Every structure is written in C-alpha cells, then in structure tokens.
Amino acid sequence: MGVAMSELDEKREEIAVLIAAELGLGDPAGWSEADRAAVDRRTSEAIEGRALGPDEPADSTEAGTRLRQRLREYRALLELRTDEADARLAEEGEVFGREDDA
C-alpha cells in the first residue's frame, strides 16, 4: 500500500504546529492569514532544508528535537512515496533515471 498524501499532509501540519510554537503562536484555529502565511513559509523552508540545515547548530530544546524528528519523518515519507512511484513506473516498463527528466 502506498504512502497516502494525507500522511504527508498530517506530518507537515505537525511540523507547522511546532514551528508556530517557536514563533510564539498558539492554537492554529486562532492564526490570522499573516500568521498562517509565515508558518507555511517557515515550514516549507524547514522541509526543503533551507532552515535547520546540517550546518546549523543543533537545537537541544525538546521542541527543537521534536521538530527535527518530524522533519526526518516527513522526508522519509516523501522518499518512500517517490520510491513507490519509481517502482510503479519500472513495472510499467518506464525505467529511467531521475537525470533523464531534464
């Protein structure tokens, strides 16, 4: 069974809630549009590795540790989904490397 997009969405929301806590925001239900945009931007940056990258000092707080764990889990789910898509293409005879996509 494949990784459902909802699993990625759920993991992303977990990351967003942790980032919101870092930003001093409370319950997501109370976020303004500007708050949501800030959290979404920071969440995307974190997922893409532009924030909390390997060169940054490790955040030893409990929240920082949880955030890093959720980011690892999100990336693992994303990789699994990509691997499953590649396997499906291979089964269909569409075998090619990612570098062939250019």
> Residue 59: CB partners within 8 Å, gap ≥ 6?
52, 65, 67, 68
Is the four-CA dihedral 27, 28, 34, 36 of positive or negative sign? positive
CA 51 to chain centre: 12
At 30-53, the pLDDT tens digits run: 889 999 999 999 999 998 886 554
Q: What is the pTM of this model?
A: 0.64
Asked if pLDDT for residue 56 goes beyond 60, the answer is: no
Question: Looking at residues 50-69, what average pLDDT do you find?
Answer: 65
Look over the chain and give the mean of its residue pLDDT values, rounded to a whole number.
78
- DSSP letters spanning 2-34: ---HHHHHHHHHHHHHHHHHHTT---GGG--HH
The answer, yes or no, to whether residue 98 has pLDDT greater than 50, is: yes
The Cα–Cα gap between 6 and 78 comes to 12
